[in-house]
Amino acid sequence: MNRLSGKKVVITGAASGIGRAAATLMVAEGAQVLIADLDQDAAEKAAADIDGSGSGGRAIGMAVDVMNEEAVAAMIDRAVTEFGGIDVLLNHVGGSNPRKDLDLLRLDLDEWDRTLALNARSTVVASQLALPHMIAAGGGSIINTVSVGGLTGDTLQCAYGAAKAAVIRLTQYIATQYGKQGIRCNAVAPGAIMTPALRDNVPADVIADIRRHNALDMIGDPEDIGWAMVYLASDESRYMSGQTLVLDGGLTAQSPIAASRRVLLDR
Judged by DSSP in three states, 71 sits in helix
Report, as residue numbers or ranges, the catalytic residues: 160
CA atoms of 126 and 129, how far apart (whole Å): 5
CA atoms of 131 and 177, how far apart (whole Å): 11
**Topology adopted by domain 8-266:** Rossmann fold (3.40.50)
**Order of strands across the sheet that contains 58-63:** 58-63, 32-37, 8-12, 88-91, 140-145, 183-190, 244-247
What is the residue-level pLDDT of the chain in tens, covering all 267 positions? 799 999 999 999 999 999 999 999 999 999 999 999 999 999 999 999 998 878 899 999 999 999 999 999 999 999 999 999 999 999 999 999 989 999 999 999 999 999 999 999 999 999 999 999 999 999 999 999 999 999 999 999 999 999 999 999 999 999 999 999 999 999 999 999 999 888 887 888 889 988 999 999 999 999 999 999 999 999 999 999 999 999 999 999 988 888 888 777 776
- Domain boundaries of the chain, sorted by first residue: 8-266
Judged by DSSP in three states, 149 sits in helix
DSSP 56: T
